[in-house]
Structure 1
Amino acid sequence: MRSRAVWMVSWLVFCLPGIAMAQNLLQNGGFEEYRACPRQDNLLGEAVPWYNPNGATPDFYHQCFPTVQMELPPRSGQGLARLFLDVSWAEYLATPLKKPLVADDCYFFEMYVATPTPNKYLSGTIGAFLSEKPITSPEKGLLPADAQVIDNVLTTSIPMLRWERISGYVKAKGGEQYLTIGSFKKLPVFLGYFYLFIDDVSLLPIEMDLGKDTTLCGRNSTLLLDATTPGATEYRWHDGSTAPTFRVTKPGHYSVTVTTPCKVLRDTIRVDYALDFDLGRDTTLCAGQTLTLKTPPDVPPTFRWQDGSATPTYVVRQAGLYSLRVEQARCVATDSIQVRFVPPPRLNLGPDQNLCGAEIFTIRPDFAEGKFSWQDPFEAVIRTVGQSGFFQASVSNDCATVRDTVRISYEDCGCVLYTPDIFTPNADGQNDVFQPFGCGDITITSLSIFNRWGELVFQTAEPPFAWNGMYEGKPAPVGVYGWQIRYRLQQGTSVLAEQKRGALSLTR
């Protein structure tokens, strides 16, 4: 019997491109199927057609019977296998292939592994062996085989219990019908034993086929060409694109070159279109306009508009869905166009405004038949302004876009900074704070207050730029104080940095 121990959890990390499993030559590669639900260790044989090729005791676990031995969830599905490796003890997994390998053909092998003790993992030992006949042994040591796939990437610094991939390419000699997984180079030293979980094992032929030449019916038909190839490192289509798939939307020759470390694959397909016509994109017309639809040149004689008419042209005068159906041999193609009619948008921001001092103005746009937006990031429709500038807005719909601008100006009467000479912070609700203010083109940036000896008693660089008469948490003495205000003044397109000093009286 094997010794059991509580080990720290670890993951094996080895990243290669993702592989589709549709052509897997292995049955039950994900350990999902079972003959009888495994309710103890050493039951690999229940995961048909997997079997144990030597005298050791590999495990098969499934969530049909939860157990603490399954130290991590399966990578996919509900089942997984586990190997135990120790001095003179080598466990393996083996299974027959669905069909023999073809001589000189390339195949891509892949499996996912994880271990609870990465510090004991033996790099360059775990892999896969493909053989014409099954390899078996009554002993419990290493099997005498030269594996075609050996992991040389994973090290003892890998994380714990995280599924990652071990993979490689195999060029078949021909006739290989069995796969064996395990350690093929060496076994752990004394006290170096470790477990290895295994899931999602696959063996895929390296092949690619775009299919036969084909004809599509109607311009709206498309065809998705799929060149996905196991282990591909590069895809290169005729137009230089590099995705595994290509969407055909027009007639022509389409080709792809797929590069793998094993070989380079190439394929070409011709796609033709029958009844290749188009009425155009859905459109929106302004009220009063018309649209003339035409049958395409060289159209077969069998065609009908949506109302049953068969005229070469059709004049659209009202909103609706218009379609043309054309028949040729066994090909029937239909195209349609949705036509909408909308009135043109309207917008009026009102007359320009000349303001003075601290006056503000609220712009209330008058608009209809579209979506309103300001030229700047302002979001609300109604906006109140207090500075000079040009304020532009637009209204858009599918018919058109109209714009309007209103000019706000403070330049005719000058722009000044206003400060009170006296304030009474006595909490009577009247004149309790010293707060300067300016016209819309002035932006205050800081306020500083000094006592009669020049000591700073208050300072702020944040709105609302007001002093409540307190100093160090207590009411400031009655008397005369000095103030300094820094501000920015907008003049036309320029902005000036200014400052102003003055005195104020504090009384109570």
Structure 2
Amino acid sequence: MNTLFHSIALVLLSVGASQAQSLVANGGFEQLTICPKAVGDIDCAKGWKNGGLTPDLFSTCTNGTENGLNVPDNYVGFQHPAVGRCYAGIALFTEPKHLSMSKSLEVTESIWTPLATPLRPGKTYRFSVLLALADSSVFTSQHLTPLLRKGPFNRMGKRETSQALLLDIAAVDTAWREVSVTFTATDRWAYLSLGLSREVLTLKAYKDRLTRRRNAVTYKGQAAAYYYVDEVELLEMK
């Protein structure tokens, strides 16, 4: 009987989580202000902002225009949306082809968004996201590091306390895969960023965790670990 009650409890917990409202308002990037026209146009997805460099928004609304942001065929690969007609894209690592180029080009892109309501300290949450590796990726990454803060991520030079999450994405390949992590909120965090936080891993530590893919075709001479992003969710566990 104890086993039966335990199974029922797990089912109820799963149903409760699935019915909860995600604190990421536009987690599927479906709500657009305008159609993306150039690389780096993540701001065209309602609620999402550029956290660094040129994170992308891909959509069927481009209607085959030559801007490289088409769905499913785009400048970094071929991928149908996991859900709907849009998804985002971020480079978690980019290595210049020519060794004489500045090492400052070894960078990571990020995107961020305000949460619908701040997190409640001491409460348990589940963060999940669907990821797929772009065909042109030379590297695969072992980690994605969502970051939570009280304020926006565009405050240049302002140091803020935060809570970083470590997401294992080593199993993600070119097919969509959900990855998730459960955590306890440590403060009333109101903003979420997706990328590679240097607060979790140094550049050297991160590079040591990269894996080179065989037979990958680079884009414009850059070797990248580029990931498509869809269905970002943050749920409070009941």
SS at structure 2 position matched to 1:25: coil
Q: Is 1:200 paired with 2:231?
A: yes
Q: Who is 1:175 aligned against?
A: 188
1:192–1:145 CA distance, 2 compared to 1 (3 A):
farther
Look up the match of 1:152.
168
Q: CA deviation digits over 1:212-266, x for unaligned, max 9?
A: xxxxxxxxxxxxxxxxxxxxxxxxxxxxxxxxxxxxxxxxxxxxxxxxxxxxxxx
Q: Deviations over 1:396-415 (max 9, x none)?
A: xxxxxxxxxxxxxxxxxxxx
Q: Tell me if 1:78 matches 2:85.
A: yes
User: Aligned to 2:234, what secondary structure does the other structure show?
Assistant: strand
TM-score (norm: length of structure 1): 0.33
Tell me, which stretches of 5 or more residues in structure 1 are unaligned?
A: 1-16, 208-508
- 1:193-232 mapped onto 2 (5 Å cutoff): 193-207=224-238
Which residue identity is paired with 1:53? G
Give the helix-richer structure, 1 or 2. 2
- The 1-side partners of 2:195 and 2:160 are apart by 12
Alpha-carbon distance between aligned partners in 2 of 1:166 and 1:201, rounded to the nearest angstrom: 10
| Aligned residues of 2:149 and 2:161 also touching (Cα < 8 A) | no
Q: Going by fraction, where is strand more abundant, 1 or 2? A: 1
8 Å Cα contact 2:141-2:225 kept in structure 1: no
Q: Distance in 2 between matches of 1:120 and 1:144?
A: 31
Give the 5 Å matches for 1:89-488.
89-116=107-134, 120-123=139-142, 125-136=143-154, 148-152=164-168, 154-155=170-171, 160-184=173-197, 185=201, 186=203, 188=207, 192-207=223-238
Q: TM-score, normalised by structure 2?
A: 0.67
- Greater RCO (CA < 8 Å, at least 6 residues apart): 2
Q: Which residue of 2 aligns with 1:62?
A: 59
Secondary structure at the aligned position of 1:183 is classed as coil
Q: Report the CA distance between 1:194 and its aligned residue.
A: 2.1
Q: How many angstroms does 1:71 deviate by?
A: 2.0
Question: What whole-Å deviation, never above 9, does each CA across 1:49-91 have from its counterpart, x for those lacking one?
Answer: 100123x110011111142316211100111000122142210
Q: Distance in 2 between matches of 1:22 and 1:47?
A: 23
- Alpha-carbon distance, 1:138 to partner: 6.0
Question: How far apart in 1 are the matches of 2:32 and 2:190?
Answer: 22
3-state DSSP of counterpart to 1:20? helix
Larger radius of gyration: 1
Total equivalences in the alignment: 183
Helix, strand or coil for the counterpart of 1:36?
coil
Is this contact kept in 2: 1:149–1:167, CA < 8 A?
no
Distance 1:78 1:34 in 2: 11
* CA distance in structure 1 between the partners assigned to 2:227 and 2:163 by the alignment: 18
